[in-house]
Amino acid sequence: MALKVGDKLPNFKAKDTNGNLFDSQDYTGKQALVIYFYPKDETKVCTAQACSFRDNYEEFKDLGAEIIGISADSVQSHIKFKSKFNLPFILLSDNDKKLRKLFGVENDFLIIPGRQTFVVDKNGFIIMVFNSMSGTIHIEKALKVLKK
């Protein structure tokens, strides 16, 4: 079942690019989160989306939010992607697709992993869910809801 606006962020853990175990509970009650699922590192639209989040990162931080990108790529792939494009935010590996299932992110066009963004308020409640294969519009939508 897909997560929707008003739902509490489920607790989850995954490996980040530093080899550390990211735990969502470390953020709940402390800051907002922008969690975006994307299909694959190094692809055209995914790279444009990641770079757009990078270019707006300080604005997200000023609004009290941390950005978390999630795909099924390996930690090693994320390390290269993060380094190549100087991405300042957290990337998590979901190679077993448990996080996609937990959030209810379905494939687009039957085979392409979905591109979906969740904005979670400081208290751990989902305040926005946005699904579009267009990458950069996710940044605009997330900033707009955080500014409210």
Q: Per the residue annotation, which of 14, 33, 35, 46 is the catalytic one?
A: 46
Q: Residue 89, SS3?
A: coil
DSSP states of 20-48: -EEEGGGTTTT-EEEEEE-S-TT-HHHHH
Told to judge if 51 belongs to the known catalytic residues of this protein, a careful annotator would answer no
**Burial environment of residue 120 by CB neighbours within 10 A (0 to 12, 13 to 18, 19 or more):** buried
Which of the residues are catalytic? 46
